[in-house]
Amino acid sequence: MPREGQAVISILRDKIVSGEFPAGQRLAEIPTADLLGVSRTPVRIAFRALAQEGLLIKLPRRGYQVREVTTEEISGAVEVRGVLEGLAARQAAEKGLSQSTQAQLEQCLMQGDAIFNKGYITEDDLEQYNLLNKQFHALIIQASGNPAIQSAMQINEHLPFASVNALLFNPEQLDREFRRFSFANMQHHVVFEALVNRQGARAEAVMKEHAHATLSQVELNDNADSRKLINSAE
């Protein structure tokens, strides 16, 4: 049985978040199907799914359109991520960490320290840190034991630039980025400490603040061309 359906969704999602399909672009079924070399059926399903994710908007009788994402929306989504991850941290603290989760979080922290203890960073370092960061956040959401948090974040996570999975950095100012991400790594330590000590409110507050650190408002106003996006595929 052809099992391309999921692939079509991923390909189209990539083309959207990478900017290959620019914001505002209209997408019809037939040209898209031709482009991907599949029939209209999987494309139709993909369009619906991506519309539900919020990447496309449906124009009645005119197909779909790549959604415009404004900086207001991004900061709104970051704010949402903050409260959701804050909630996850609080619930994880209240519930207590399992042995295994605690060990895995410590592992993340140690590997992060190794990166920043050098005193400088390279692009490769950031790529590696991106994976660690992703894992750290995923572990805490897991540890909260609240599946609704993950569901609620799903939609947000697909918005380009708003996701934890997409670190945005400026390769021309690696020293500044070093300070930024090294600070983020220190915040991870604080969150971890709060989790271990069962300090729910503290964990929540730090995590909420941490959401802003990952994507600072300053970045939003920077020149987009000079930035680089590490978008780890799922």
Partner DNA sequence: ATATGGGTTATTGGATCCAATTTTCAGACA
Partner DNA sequence: TGTCTGAAAATTGGATCCAATAACCCATAT
In the complex, which residues of this chain contact DNA (CB under 7 A)? 1-5, 8, 28-30, 38-42, 44-45, 58, 60-64
**Binding partner of 91, given DNA, a copy of itself, none, CB within 5-8 angstroms per partner class:** a copy of itself
Cα atoms in the Cβ-side hemisphere of radius 13 Å centred on 28? 5
Check residue 36 for interaction with a copy of itself (CB under 8 A). Answer: no
State how far the Cα of 14 lies from the Cα of 46, in Å rounded to an integer.
12
Task: Give which of a copy of itself, DNA, none residue 3 binds (C-beta under 5 to 8 Å, depending on kind).
Answer: DNA
CB closer to a copy of itself out of 58 and 179: 58
145 binds a copy of itself (CB under 8 A): yes
Burial of 234 (0-12, 13-18, 19+ CB in 10 A): exposed
Residue 31 Cβ vs DNA, minimum distance, rounded to whole Å: 7
Q: Measured from the CB atom, is 77 or 121 closer to a copy of itself?
A: 77
Tell me the H-state helices in the chain.
5-17, 29-36, 40-53, 71-95, 99-117, 123-144, 147-157, 174-196, 200-214, 217-221
**Contacts within 8 Å (CB) and 24+ apart, 57-61:** 59/26
Inter-residue contact 112 to 212 (CB < 8 Å): no
User: Binding a copy of itself by CB under 8 A: which of 2, 22, 24, 72?
Assistant: 72
Residues that bind a copy of itself (CB under 8 A): 44-45, 48-49, 52, 54, 72-73, 76-77, 79-80, 83-84, 86-87, 91, 145-149, 151-156, 159, 162
